[in-house]
Amino acid sequence: MGKPLRLLAQDQDDVPVISALVQDAVVRPAEVCLDARARRFVVLMNRFRWEEADEEPRRVRTALRIEGVMKAARKGWPAAADKDAVLELLALTVTPGEEGAATLELDFAGPAAVRLDVECIEVLLEDLTEPWPARAKPVHKA
């Protein structure tokens, strides 16, 4: 079993690495939070451990934290009354802006997405627990 991940993305070239590691993470909408005062966006997720995909499939509880959030918007979000909703994270993408600013998008399976305008790219991915066996390895159809 590998070490827990703790990675920091600080430019647009770093974001695809984080995106690959969070692909197929499952997220409950209630565990997606914007702290507007701190300008911080946090997602708690059960991340599939792609970095060890050749071994026994495992998941780990992980936090994705995005700093410097100036504006946040979501679309296709499940209703608050849907307590059993689970979202599957497909990708984290970046569109560079002016003077270091950027737009980060979290795209989920189905219609759900989050768009964040940030003053600069500062994305932290941190494993919080020990991994546990996953039911199966996610399958991507070509």
User: Taking the complete model, does pTM exceed 0.75, yes or no?
Assistant: yes
Structural domain range at position 20:
6-133
Specify if 140 maps to a domain. Answer: no
CA dihedral 36→113→102→9, nearest 10 degrees, is: 90
Among the listed ranges 12-16, 81-85, 109-113, 123-127, which one has the minimum average pLDDT value? 81-85
Specify if 27 maps to a domain. Answer: yes
Specify if 142 maps to a domain. Answer: no
**Mean pLDDT score, 40-49:** 97
Specify if 10 maps to a domain. Answer: yes
CA distance 105 to 136: 27
Sign of the alpha-carbon torsion through 77, 124, 121, 49: negative
